[in-house]
Structure formats: structure tokens, C-alpha cells
Amino acid sequence: MPIKTVLQTKVEHISILDEHGAFDAKLGKDLISDEDVVKLYEHMIVCRRFDEIAFKLQRSGRMGTYPENRGQEAASLGAVYALRKDDWLVPCYRENPGLFWRGLPMEYILLHWMGDERGNQIPDGLYMTPQAIPIGTQMLHAVGLAWAGKYRGEDRIACTFFGDGATSEGDCHEALNFAANLDLPVVFVCQNNGWAISVPAKMQCSAPTIAQRGLAYGMACVQCDGNDIFAMVKVVRDAAELARRSHRPTFIEAVTYRLGDHTTADDARRYRDAAEVEMWKKRDPLIRLRKYLVDRNQWDDEKERSLQADAKEQVAAAVKRAEEIAAPRTTDMFDSLYAQLPDQLRIQRATLRTASLGQDPSQLEDTGTEFSRELKASASSRTRSPAGRG
């Protein structure tokens, strides 16, 4: 039998604004307005300041741990800028710039890392899930959200973020398989930052790109410069259009780098070459975007000083809100369980006693409130025999 080729494909790499400030005017045409480029740069500066202060909060014992986003700001920010406000964001833990751009108050991230669960209570209307700490699990959540949206006939998509290390997890491959086989509108954004804690990306994937892993599932795949906000906007906008038009998923590999440690519990100097870090510092997404603005007379030193002062104030205010939040109440654990709390749990909430004790009206403390009297009356009526009822 003759030999024939059954598959021949390619993975493109997209770069529009390189590390030297060179801009591809053809690819970048009308991607981002001049006004929005300035806003995006300003936002990245605030997020960089947030990272610096969060690091200091941990080092001073005011926060448990923290994973820096430094060096990766363009990846999530460019993606979220390209999406609609009602598209689902399903992050891991290095997407602060994108989450803040969508409208998540900065103190929510601080509360999360301070161990306060209220940091995970996403405000209504933001269409995002809390940060996912287990590696790769959030990808399945994104698939479920996209599947639900398609079932309901909604015109929104889901975009999930994960690292290079997550592509070695079974959850990742299950998510890719489901999304492709069921024609689900999901954008998978892999932030390949070079390291999965101390394991280099080359040990996660021996292929030339991580993006090509999506080829096995028959989905569109592309690699881009993850430190180039223009490239991120283009590839995510293209992927979102495909998802809305054809309900097809896309795998995006955003090549970036974490300039800091994996978390504040890590010391990357033990496994990472200092020369490599210095090389990537020159590819910093903030540096190249500022150069782009300066070259077009849209930015100067005076604006930079003003922005830095404003960023300092914004982050300080967020820290103040996080640290001065009222202490949680014991009854808070009941408040998000049901839309309407069942009587049995209402009794537990009022008495802070188990359901079995709550059935005995003699054990219900009368606090003198109308609610406590209602509970006693309700419990009493359930314990009276049918013959004793009038």
C-alpha cells in the first residue's frame, strides 16, 4: 500500500511589539486605540506596584504567601481587554492585571492570600471564578461554564489561564478533549513562563512548542509573545471570534517569564541561572510598552512620576481596606449555602448548635428577638403530636 500523509500542520508565532520597541504596523493596525494603550500601561504600572507591596506584606508577616505576577502582566491583561465583559474568566493565580481590569477590587486578592475567604466571594456581574490553586483544575471549570452557556444558547465564551506545568496534568488533557469533541467555546491560555516551580518547561514538553499539544485534540493552536500586549489582544480576539462563530476552542501558548520566585515560599536562585533572569528583564512588558508610548510622544517622565505616585496611593488604599475589614462572624458560613436557608439550618445559624439539638424547643435560647421567638414556635409545632394540635 502506498504511504500517504494524513496530517500536515503548522503552529504560528505572533509578535507585534518586540522587546526593542519595533512595532508591526500591519498586524497591529486598529488593535488597540492610542487612548487605551495609555490606560493599559497605567494599569500595568499599578499592578506592578501591587506586586511589590504584596511581597512586602508577606515578608513582614502580614500575609501568608504570595505568587508574584511581575513580568507576566501583558498576558492576562491583553486577553481580558480582548474579551467581552460577560465572557467567563477562569484564572489560576497569576492573572491579577486581567482580573483588576475586569473590575475585581484589589483587596480581594490580598484577602485571599491573607486566608480570608471573603476574598473569593466575587462581586456580582464580574463573570469570573476565584483563583484556582490546585494545578489545572480550573480548566475543567471553564469547559463546564462554556458547555452550560452553549446549552442555554448564550453568546458568551469562557477563557481559562494556566501555566506550562499544568499541561502535564490529566485535568488539562481531559478539558482539551471535552472542549474539542463537544465543540465548546473555550479559549485556553497557557502562560509558559519557563518554570513550573523548579522544573523547566523543556522537561514539561519535549516538542518545539507547548501550543502543539492542542493539535492532538483537533483544535486551533497558536504561539505568541506573551510579553507583547498587542500580540495577546490579537490572538485572544481571533480565538474569541472563532469560539462565538463556530463554538470551537483554541489553544494559545503565551511565551512569557516570571521575573520573581514561584511564590514567596520559593527561592528561584537555587535552580535558575541569573543570566537568564537578566535576559528576560530586558523583555519586560512594561519597558517595551513605555518605549512604544514615548516614541509616539504619548508619554514622558512627568507623566511617569505622576502615575507612580497615583499607583502608590491606589495600592495603599487597597491594603488599608483589606487590613481594616470587619472580622468575620461565625454565622457567615451559613450565608452562601442556599438562596433560601432551610428551617433546620436557620435554627443552627441562630443557636450555633447542631440540628439534633435544635429540634428540642427547650434548648433554644430566647434572645428576645422576633426571629428567636419564631424559631421556638416553629420547633415547638414540629414536636407536638397531631392529637394535641387545635
Give the tens place of pLDDT for each residue, 62-98.
999 999 999 999 999 999 999 999 999 999 999 999 9
Indicate whether 94 and 226 sit together in one domain: yes
- In this predicted structure, the answer to whether residue 189 has a pLDDT above a threshold of 90 is yes
State mean pLDDT over 349-375. Answer: 61
pLDDT at 220 exceeding the cut of 80:
yes
For residues 39-45, give the mean pLDDT. Answer: 98
- Out of 112, 258, 288, 349, the active site residue is 258
pLDDT of 335 reads: 83
- What string of DSSP letters covers 68-125? --TT-HHHHHHHHHHS-TTSEEE--SS-HHHHHHHT--HHHHHHHHTT-GGGG-PPTT
The predicted model gives 196-203 an average pLDDT of: 92
Q: Quick: pLDDT tens for 305-318.
A: 999 999 999 999 99
Per-residue model confidence (pLDDT) at position 358? 47
Q: Is residue 1 part of a domain?
A: no
| Spatial CA neighbour of 187 closest among 217, 219, 155 | 219
Are 247 and 107 contained in the same domain?
yes
Residue 281 belongs to a domain: yes
For residues 310 and 343, state if they share a domain: no
Q: Per-residue confidence at 370, pLDDT binned at 50, 70, 90?
A: low
- The answer to whether residues 360 and 217 belong to one domain is no
Among candidate residues 277, 302, 323, the one where a domain is terminated: 323
Please check whether residue 81 lies inside any domain of the structure.
yes
* pLDDT tens, position by position, 267-308: 999 999 999 999 999 999 999 999 999 999 999 999 999 999
Q: Is 66 a catalytic residue?
A: no
Per-residue burial over 189-210, b = 16 or more CB atoms within 10 Å of its CB, e = otherwise: bbbbbbbbeeeebeebbeeebb
- Does 4 reside within a domain? no
pLDDT for the residue numbered 371: 55
Given a cut of 70, whether residue 250 has pLDDT beyond it is yes
Domain boundary among 285, 301, 323: 323
**Domain check: are 306 and 352 in the same one?**
no
Structural domain containing residue 356 = 331-388
Is 271 designated active site? yes
319 found inside a domain: yes
Q: 13, 269, 271, 373: which is the annotated catalytic residue?
A: 271
| Confidence band, pLDDT 50/70/90 cuts, at residue 347 | confident
227 plus 352 within the same structural domain: no
Looking at 38-42, 102-106, 324-328, which range is the least confident one? 324-328
Query: What CATH number is attached to the domain comprising 76?
Result: 3.40.50.970
Sequence letter at residue 387: A
pLDDT value for 284: 97
Q: What is the mean pLDDT of residues 375-384?
A: 58
Which of 306, 323, 340 finishes a domain? 323
Please tell me the predicted confidence (pLDDT) of residue 349: 87
Strand partners, 14: 224
pLDDT reading at 366 higher than 80:
no
Confirm whether 91 is domain-assigned: yes
Whether 360 and 315 map to the same domain: the answer is: no
Residue range 133-143: average pLDDT?
Answer: 97
| pLDDT of 148 strictly over 80 | yes
Same domain, 352 and 268: no
Task: For residues 223 and 368, state if they share a domain.
Answer: no
Q: Which of 11-15, 87-91, 212-216, 327-331 has the lowest mean pLDDT?
A: 327-331
Same domain, 207 and 66: yes
User: Cα dihedral angle (315, 44, 186, 5), rounded to 10 degrees?
Assistant: -150
Q: Given pLDDT bands bounded at 50, 70 and 90, which one contains residue 389?
A: very low
365-389 average pLDDT score: 55
180 within domain boundaries: yes
SS3 category, 128: strand
Q: What mean pLDDT comes out for the span 37-41?
A: 98
Residues composing the chain: 390
143-167 b/e with 16+ CB inside 10 Å = b?
A: bbbbbebbeeeeebbbbbbbbbbbb
Average of per-residue pLDDT values in the chain? 92
Q: How many domains does the chain have?
A: 2
Residues 208, 61 share a domain: yes
Q: How confident is the model at residue 333 (pLDDT cuts 50, 70, 90)?
A: confident
pLDDT(355) > 60: no
2 in a domain, yes or no? no
Active site residue 262: yes
Write down the pTM of the prediction: 0.89
* Rounded average pLDDT over 375-382: 60
pLDDT of residue 380 exceeding 80: no
Asked whether the predicted pLDDT for residue 113 surpasses 90, the reply is: yes
Clarify whether residues 259 and 376 are in a common domain.
no
Q: Indicate the pLDDT class of residue 390, thresholds 50, 70 and 90.
A: very low
At 331, is the pLDDT very low, low, confident or very high (cuts 50, 70, 90)?
confident
Catalytic residue among 43, 112, 156, 262: 262
